[in-house]
Amino acid sequence: MSNASSSRRRRGSARTTLTQVAEAAGVSAITVSRALNTPERVNAETRRHILATVERLGYVPNLVAGSLASASSRFIAVIVPSLANAVFIEVIQGLQETFEARGYQILLGNTDYDLDREAQLVRTFLGWSCSALVTAGLRHSEACHNLLNGWDKPIMEMMELGEALDLNVGLDHAAAGHCMARHLLQRGHRQIVYVGGRMAKDYRAGLRYAGHREELAAAGLEAPLIDLERLGSLEAGADALDQVLETHPRADAIHFANDDLATGALLHAQRLGLGVPKDIAIAGFNGLPLGQHVTPRLTTIRSPRHRMGRLAADRLLTRLDGGSVSVRCNVGFSLLVGDST
């Protein structure tokens, strides 16, 4: 593992100032201030030019007034793609428990898988002089990258592994896709369909599909994909089973991007009189309790979500204390073999 200091050098050592924005935009500092705080007092064309400069430079107005302006708060910003998904709830619990034990509180934001919304949340949270920032994922918009690259406090990117801005705790989603596809092949399945939902936004499901596809290709098999317009839900899983039966009637297994979809399909298969796994095998991802309380029990990949949150929080706190931590931490995953495959 590499040391975090090398990653830190790729980011700015000081935040962009209002004066620097004014110089880059070719206007006065007071004009920049007015464009941000009282935009009706600034010519529309000038305001657009200033806002474009603000975004390009990653400028964040400090919302903490007076003598506190250069200080850090006891807040740590946490930004996740969903508050309706039990996966992220468990991660948040791990973070919150660890931070609160050290006297920090979290500021929580939900992007709904929208990278532009993430950038807006980052700008707001950084303006409150948070001590650190946690984001769920490594992919960000250009505007968000500009903001984070210009910030000199700890950043933790979670849920997946890869090249991070600062610190990274997560699991290898492509490897998880390989693992489940390998299991299905070992069980004798050869017509395996992968089903995800809104994978352009839930791109980690796409990473798992990439691993799934590579595993099947190595066995000389195709890897048909169905990408639903909805995210994971029991209803979407039931609809997905109907779609697989219609478009891939010879399918003998379905690898779902999450347990909600897989459980919905499993329950629907029973309503249709299909045997699982005799007629069609069903597998999921996440290791949610729901899948372990149906019959047959769901085969899935278990991700250590609560532990992931605690590990991420521990590393951020160590950094805030001036300690050295490794840049990347792989929390791993485990194959949970149920009766559905």
Q: Which domain CATH number covers 181? A: 3.40.50.2300
**Residue 221 forms part of a structural domain:** yes
For residue 63, the model assigns a pLDDT of: 56
Encode pLDDT of 262-290 as tens digits: 999 999 999 999 999 999 999 999 999 99
Q: Which of 57, 76, 106 is the last residue of a domain?
A: 57
**Residue 183, pLDDT above cutoff 60:** yes
**Residue 194 forms part of a structural domain:** yes
Q: Is 106 left (phi over 0), alpha (psi -120 to 50) or beta?
A: beta
For residue 19, the model assigns a pLDDT of: 85
Q: Which domain CATH number covers 50? A: 1.10.260
Residue 43: pLDDT band (50, 70, 90) is confident
Encode pLDDT of 51-79 as tens digits: 888 888 877 776 554 434 445 578 899 99
**Residue 48 forms part of a structural domain:** yes
**Residue 79 forms part of a structural domain:** no
Count how many domains the chain has: 2
**Residue 65 forms part of a structural domain:** no
For residue 29, the model assigns a pLDDT of: 82
Q: What is the mean pLDDT of residues 39-62?
A: 82
Q: Which of 8, 26, 57 is the last residue of a domain?
A: 57
For residue 152, the model assigns a pLDDT of: 87
Tokens 């946690």 belong to residue: 134
> CA torsion sign, 337 to 338 to 339 to 340?
negative
* Domain extent for 238: 173-302
Helix (H) or strand (E) holding 135: strand 132-136
**Residue 180, pLDDT above cutoff 80:** yes
**Residue 270 forms part of a structural domain:** yes
Q: Which of 242, 238, 206 is closest to 225 using CA atoms?
A: 206
Encode pLDDT of 226-243 as tens digits: 999 887 789 999 999 999
**Residue 247 forms part of a structural domain:** yes
**Residue 278 forms part of a structural domain:** yes
Q: Which of 287, 302, 317 is the last residue of a domain?
A: 302
Q: Percent of the chain, pLDDT > 70? A: 92
